[in-house]
Amino acid sequence: MIFHPLFVPSGPRNLFLVQHIACDPAVVERRVLIVPPLFEELNKSRRLFALIAEKLAALGMECVIADISGTGDSDGELSELVWQDWLDDLDSIHDWINEQTPKVPLSILSCRASALLVNDWLARRMPDIHSMTLVQPCTSGKTYCNQFLRLRVLANRFAGVDESLADIRFMLDEGKHVEVAGYSLTNQLFTGLESIDLKDYCQNTVGGLDIIQVSSGSHQNLSPSLKKLLDTWSGQNRVGSHHVDAESFWLTQEISAPKKVIDLVTKTLSINQKYNG
Amino acid sequence: MSTYTHVVEVLRGVLSLEGDNDKYTRQTGLLGSLPQFDSMAVVSIITRLEEEFDFFVDDDEIDAEVFENIGSLVDFIDHKLD
């Protein structure tokens, strides 16, 4: 097993990637790019995606986990970035992967808000992607951004400071830096994320799309937002939906890497690699 | 699935609560009772509930009374769904 941390240039910044590969690169038949969740959810889910990458590599796939600018160990300050920078980052990562193993089908695994970024990138830049798997995707950028800003609202409220969501939005609209849960943001990045609604995107991929819902309980029902997404996308592509009974690893206070999630994600990607439309 | 059962499963998933659903009742205390129930937990739970039930919670709807116990939280959600 090769575990290869490296930096890849993206414009003026260097991006941190980790490549997992278990065999001679020349015989890799499938590749997976993992774009982890954003902000604090990235930290909560790092271990999970490292374990997924290891398992995929053991199955013969090459797996790359990427930190986009301003996140993880990559260069850049969030407050200085614009949405275009993140799209350019995915271009740079995609180009690097293609230089390593050209013409090998590439699948993308996204999670939570990174699903918004990945789908916008796919729509705008139209890279050649074999399949896409989305783990507990945020379907609405607007909803996700409101929920993120709420972290500051409630932290202030518990500290006795009265500040509303509207107050924070006003500061962002005035071009100010706003700190939320330790992350300094501006509207330049935020409006890009907020503008995306997954229902407006449906990617045509040979290997299809898979949506994985992670929630506690034995019920198999998709949440209303994921069901709406599935209904919208099903008309235009092969879309699979799956539910795994596991805790919300991106939120739990203790770092969690549910085995059931690892097993389902790797199984889904393994099945996708065999599907050629 | 009843709102109560759904809420208990969300709480268990977010807070990593031990035991099965039978361990909890409407009277089970949350804010001020469970040590892991801080401001971050409140945000996380609201976020999951919004996704599970497909509604949005406004700032002014969030107060300590809603999170007093499982029963008060269930009643809040039922009110939102009406």
Q: What separation, in Å, do the N-terminal and C-terminal C-alpha atoms of chain A show?
A: 31
| Partner residue facing A165 (CB), from B44, B50, B59 | B59
Distance from CA of A17 to the nearest CA of B (A): 29
CA angle, residues A170, A174, A176, in degrees to nearest 5: 100
Average pLDDT over residues A98-120: 93
CA distances from A182 to A67, A79, B32 (A): 18, 12, 25
Asked if the model's pLDDT at residue A153 lies above 70, the reply is yes
Asked if the model's pLDDT at residue B21 lies above 80, the reply is no
Model's pTM, two decimal places? 0.90
Asked if the model's pLDDT at residue B20 lies above 90, the reply is no
Contact B3, B76 (CB under 8 A): no
d(C-alpha A131, C-alpha A214), whole Å: 20
Q: What is the pLDDT of residues A184-240, one digit of tens each?
A: 999 999 999 999 999 998 777 888 899 999 988 766 678 888 998 999 998 778 899
Distance from CA of A30 to the nearest CA of B (A): 33
d(C-alpha A216, C-alpha A208), whole Å: 26
Distance from CA of B67 to the nearest CA of A (A): 13
Average pLDDT over residues A54-63: 92
Closest chain B residue to A219 measured between Cα atoms? B1
Instruction: Give the type of residue at A97.
Output: I
> How many CB atoms sit inside 10 A of residue A110's CB?
25
Say if the Cβ atoms of B10 and A225 lie within 8 Å: no
Asked if the model's pLDDT at residue A131 lies above 50, the reply is yes
Contact A111, A42 (CB under 8 A): no
Chain A hits for B54, Cβ within 8 Å: 223-225
What residues contact residue A49 under an 8 Å CB cut-off, 6+ apart?
Answer: A34, A36, A65, A109, A111
Say if the Cβ atoms of A216 and B16 lie within 8 Å: no
Nearest to A39 by CA among A231, A211, A233, A181: A181
Which among A41-50, A143-152, A193-202, A246-255 has the top mean pLDDT? A41-50
Chain B hits for A221, Cβ within 8 Å: 1
| Partner residue facing B54 (CB), from A150, A155, A223 | A223
pLDDT given for residue A277 in this prediction: 43
Interface test mutation site (partner A, options B4, B12, B16, max chain A beta carbons within 10 A): B16
Helix pair A259-272, A40-58: axis angle to 10 deg: 60
Helix pair A187-194, A83-100: axis angle to 10 deg: 70
Q: How many residues does chain A have?
A: 277
DSSP string, A167-181: HHHHHHHTT--EEET
Contacts for A142-147: CB closer than 8 Å, 24+ residues apart: A142/A194, A142/A195, A142/A197, A143/B50, A143/B56, A144/A112, A144/A113, A144/A116, A144/A193, A144/A194, A145/A190, A145/A193, A145/A194, A146/B56, A147/B43, A147/B46, A147/B47, A147/B50
Place A9 in a pLDDT band, splitting at 50, 70 and 90: very high
Average pLDDT over residues A2-17: 95
Q: Which two tokens stand for residue A92?
A: 């740079």
Distance from CA of A22 to the nearest CA of B (A): 33
Asked if the model's pLDDT at residue A274 lies above 60, the reply is no
Lowest mean pLDDT among A116-120, B8-12, B17-21: B17-21
Say if the Cβ atoms of B56 and A247 lie within 8 Å: no
Average pLDDT over residues A35-49: 95
> Mean of the per-residue pLDDT values for chain A?
91
| Partner residue facing B13 (CB), from A153, A224, A248 | A248
d(C-alpha A38, C-alpha A138), whole Å: 11
Distance from CA of A245 to the nearest CA of B (A): 9
DSSP helix/strand/coil, A142: helix
In degrees and rounded to multiples of 5, residue A245 shows phi and psi of -80, 95
DSSP helix/strand/coil, A184: strand
Asked if the model's pLDDT at residue A80 lies above 90, the reply is yes
Say if the Cβ atoms of B46 and A251 lie within 8 Å: no
Residues in B 4-43 with any Cβ partner in A closer than 8 A? 5-6, 9-10, 12-16, 36, 38-43
Interface confidence, given as ipTM, is 0.75
Chain A hits for B52, Cβ within 8 Å: 215, 223-224
For chain A, percent of residues with pLDDT exceeding 70: 97
d(C-alpha A162, C-alpha B60), whole Å: 11
Residues in B 37-76 with any Cβ partner in A closer than 8 A? 38-44, 46-48, 50-54, 56, 59-60, 62
Closest chain B residue to A246 measured between Cα atoms? B13
Say if the Cβ atoms of A254 and B15 lie within 8 Å: no
pLDDT given for residue B13 in this prediction: 83
Place A251 in a pLDDT band, splitting at 50, 70 and 90: confident
Contact A207, A274 (CB under 8 A): no
